[in-house]
A and B are shown apart, each in its own frame.
Chain A
């Protein structure tokens, strides 16, 4: 009998020690303070898909304001962007989306330009077009700056026998990723996915 009592006491002591350790856990104060009062929905998960159909409709869109990966028009990740459809789009001879329809999207990832001619890049996702299912749009849509690596590499290789000239080409950076109102981005919309 005494053995059982001892065993129970040991279990109780162990539970108390565990509880004490649990109380020492760190808290994520940003979650507990900054986000607590906000209403946050669970992000969409795309598990229902069927890629049998190959029909694809190209939707041409144009941005309303110029954005860039750097400089005066620099945008930021998460910024909302506004586009409009630049011409009527038909699918099976029916109007799918009309010209000037407003399109919204978000800047997903910005990659700044780098040495050796690496271009800046803007990735855009979360496109919303009234009347169309966003999950059928192929995302992200990316726009890169001028890719100077294309000519830097041959020049670098040509200059390699004359050190250190080849290495000097490393300091040349690529172009900024820019989207101007005159640029047309093409959205790939798969109506039967």
Chain B
């Protein structure tokens, strides 16, 4: 009798474990499909002729020396990233920015090896390039580029040493993106569904000084590059 009860108990545990695993696999497949659908849409609509793949990976982002975005042209979306992504625009923003770097890594001599070295050696320069290109990619694919600002506002920290080290301050990047959208795609500034979004409102709040600089530039008709903070 005891043996039978034990066998039934063990079988029940095995069934529950299998069901949990199956759920987890199914959920991962769903995430993978979501990431892939948006990524491939950006590639196709923008006529990006380079081979780039998209992978969903559960867990936290692990920084490696060999960034697969440019070394393998494989864009990995970690579970940690999903914490910040609230809609398709923001997912498209995340992917578009990575796609622009992955596509850039194909350029030039030695099958893109020199470009990869340059992107790694001068991330500050190519960050701005990737942000602007991401805006273009999003618009062509039918996503709202303001999603890039909201995603960045909530997910990118403003490090103390950014100004003097290898990355641009997040506030500067967001201001440059805003100016790029204002100049090239003003439709999204005027018809802005994010205007009541708390993250966009927070961007408006923390970018008051930078937007005032842009306003001054527009009013004066100046063509000079703005020194955003």
Contact = CB atoms under 8 A, between A and B. Distances in A.
B122 A118 contact: yes
A25 B218 CA distance: 24
Nearest to B118: A118
Interface string A24-46: 01111111001110101111111
B109 A147 contact: yes
A71 to B, nearest CB: 15
A111 interface: yes
Interface residues of B, number: 43
B205 A26 contact: yes
Contact of A31 (B114, B136, B183, B190): B190
Contacts of A41: 187
Contacts of B49: 138
B97 to A, nearest CB: 14
A31 B188 CA distance: 9
Interface string A121-159: 000010000000000001100101001011001000000
Interface string A152-193: 010000000000000000000000000000000000000001
B227 to A, nearest CB: 14
B93 interface: no
Q: Decide if the interface of chain A is mainly helix, strand, loop or mixed.
A: loop
Interface in A34-73: 34-36, 38, 40-47, 49, 51
B211 A30 contact: yes
B104 to A, nearest CB: 10
B211 A43 contact: no
Given A45-B140, A47-B142, A30 B44 contact: no
The 3 closest A-B pairs by CB, nearest first: A45-B142, A26-B204, A46-B45
